Chain A
Amino acid sequence: MSRAETAAAVRTPRPLWTFGLLRSELLTTFRRWRTLALLGVLAAVPVLVGIAVRIETGDGGSFGGPGGGGEAGGGGPAFISQVSNNGLFLVFTALAATLPFFLPMAVGVVAGDAIAGEAGAGTLRYLLVAPAGRTRLLLTKYAAVLAFCLAATLVVALSALAVGALLFPLGDLTTISGTRIGYAEGLGRALLIALTVAASLVGLAALGLFVSTLTGSGIAAMATTVGLLITVQILDQIPQLHAVQPYFFSHYWLSFADLMREPVYWDDLVRNLGLQALYAAVFGSAAWARFTAKDITA
């Protein structure tokens, strides 16, 4: 038996080391200034919306009730008209305001940079020589990006909750269907909506990770991912493309509002989650195929 084999027996991989790698990945992601800045911008959105609504409605005055705004264009419900009645609605408003662009842009930046940024800095080769293992590293990266999706959504939601509680009255709330639910249940719905919004970003995260395996430049990968996001969002507005729009990752994003119906209208929600899973599977596989066969020359 060669010495190589005997020594290998001494140093066997530890069963839980993958979690150590994930922990390191999360620490690295969330200790970046860029990540914190993105989260800071996201936290500021509800503050701006809240202050704007507060100024608009004057001192304690009501914002005209449900009749005032009605259903504002497209799939976006007019949560904003309810904000002055109940601060909890600021959570829904803020998520609806950030989901089309701010949230996915932040996710695109983090996902696009995941592999390409490491390649550009040269740290990728040292992680692989450590050896982190390509499949594990990719899975860890994806897990970290998903954690960022969740963190970003929760930052928006919590910031909105805090601002809403500070500026507006709290209490029972009226669903889109017109029924009234208690504040506690409203909080539960808000959490559910935040989780749904985070899950809506899963597909884009996989797409960004795939783009990230194609290049050695973090900036290029971020720009490509965010560019794809904008393109898809624009195409989703062109009526002539009606036939393909249901396959755009962003098509059902605003379906989260259906969670505020009584009873909950599940069809689009399920379609959204299915579509995200499809994107994750397709682009996750593509990223894996690309990354495990790639020559690391950076």
Chain B
Amino acid sequence: MDEPSVTEPGRPERLERPERSERPVRASAEGAEVAGDAVAAEEAVAAGDAVIATRALTKRYRGGQLAVDGLDLTVPAGSVFGFLGPNGSGKTTTIRMLMGLIEPTSGTARVLGRPMPRAARAVLPRVGALIEGPALYGFLSGRDNLLRYDAADPTADPRTRRARVAAALDRVGLAAAAGKKAKAYSLGMKQRLGLAAALLQPRRLLVLDEPTNGLDPQGMREIRTLVRELAGDGTTVFLSSHLLDEIEQVCTHAAVMARGRLITQGPVAELAAGRRGRLVVTTPDTGDAARVLKERGAAGIVIAGDRVTAQPPDGDLADLNAALVAAGVRVRGFGTERASLEDAFVALTGEGFDVAG
């Protein structure tokens, strides 16, 4: 794809840094407890600690289908929060409730410390959102689409509108295609334009529902870089995805949903912990390698083809590599395979990552 890169530095003055969260991101176990305790949750919210806090949030659609069931979600300020679950697990319904598009059947949702949907007019101007893919006016140019969305924001200053729109287009790499009719955009360009709409103002919270849908690998990388950049500015990013590795690559925290229920939430490192990464050595001398690894205290050694995998022993892995080489093992590849969220997910749900029935 020959679209310009997302990561160029020409950031406009209007996209100034939102105020940074003074407090460090809290550990998740604490977060989960806070969500369970009404008083503590109120305090945490009042202190600006939780950007999103829901209590027993439930949505039952008219057909009787329970889409979201007693959700207690806590998104700490400053985090990049991955919201994970198979298609049909209630992610989008949750996001729609958080954005005030859907009235919860019961339970409460607070966003930026204010109740939703009641405080929508105060909260939403500081929230950028990409919900279930971009939606555009095909007969308007990309620029005019953004001008329209910006005009719908009561807090947007019309005097800076054009500059902010240009800046947002620039930031997602669409400046060159700004004058083109949106119906001529490719899926990836539409996705970028949707992101640009979320970036029209400095935001305290970005809610991105499947932001890399329809993007090629280069585009995905650019979006991830952009998300990291925004998070670096102090914006909390709430990122829903059904792609585990995407969450793993950019998120500091994650929550896992399945069939409308929250299965777990916490820092990504903790979620994947308990399933330690495995050491992988690629070599033609598999027998020797296994012997050396065993001497060095590695357990659970498995030889498959030219790969030897094992639980890594304590200590610096570089020493282990040196030992292998010193023992005459011809090492082609040496490294650890991280325990994936997918492993964690399967362990948590006891099921594969398929569409809920």
A interface footprint on B125-156 (CB within 8 Å = 1, 0 otherwise): 11101011111111110000001111111111
Give every chain A residue within 8 A of B156 (Cβ-Cβ).
Answer: 14, 17
A59 within 8 Å of B by Cβ?
Answer: no
Contact A13 B121 (CB under 8 A): yes
Residues of chain A whose beta carbon lies under 8 Å from any beta carbon of chain B: 2-5, 7-8, 11-14, 17-18, 20-21, 23-24, 27-28, 31-33, 121-133, 137, 293, 295-297
Residues of B within 8 A of A (CB): 19, 45-48, 96, 99-103, 112-114, 120-127, 129, 131-140, 147-158, 197, 204
Chain A residues, Cβ within 8 Å of B148: 24, 27-28
How many Å lie between the Cα of A127 and that of B47 in the bound state? 30
A-B pair count, CB < 8 Å, reads 125
Q: A131-B100, A297-B96 are contacts. A125–B47 as well, Cβ < 8 Å?
A: no
A292 CB to nearest chain B CB (Å) = 10
A229 and B129 alpha carbons, distance in the complex (Å): 39
> From residue A244, how far is it (CB to closest CB) to chain B in Å?
34
* B125 with A131: CB separation less than 8 A: yes
**A297 vs B96: C-alpha distance in the bound complex, in angstroms?**
8
Contact between A131 and B121 (Cβ–Cβ < 8 Å)? yes
Contacts of A121 in B (CB 8 A): 135-138
In the complex, A127 Cα to B122 Cα: how many Å?
15
Give every chain B residue within 8 A of A12 (Cβ-Cβ): 155
Please, which residue of chain A has its CB at the minimum distance from the CB of B101?
A296
Assuming A17-B153, A130-B153, what are 8 further A-B pairs, CB within 8 angstroms?
Answer: A4-B48, A17-B156, A31-B140, A125-B99, A126-B129, A126-B152, A131-B125, A297-B101
Whether A8 and B122, one on each chain, are in contact in the complex, defined by CB atoms closer than 8 angstroms, is yes
Looking at the assembled complex, report how far the CB atom of A14 sits from the nearest CB atom of chain B, in whole angstroms. Answer: 7
Please tell me if the beta carbons of B135 and A296 are within 8 angstroms of each other in the complex: no
Q: Is B155 in contact with A129, judged by CB distance below 8 angstroms?
A: no
A11 x B125 contact (CB < 8 A): yes
Query: CA–CA, A8 to B126, complex, Å?
Result: 8
Establish whether residues A7 and B102, one from each chain, have CB atoms under 8 Å apart when the complex forms. Answer: no
CB distance from A132 to the nearest CB of B (A): 4
Q: Is the CB of B133 within 8 A of A127?
A: no
- Which residues from A are CB-within-8-Å of B129? 126, 129
CA distance A27 to B136 in the complex (A): 15
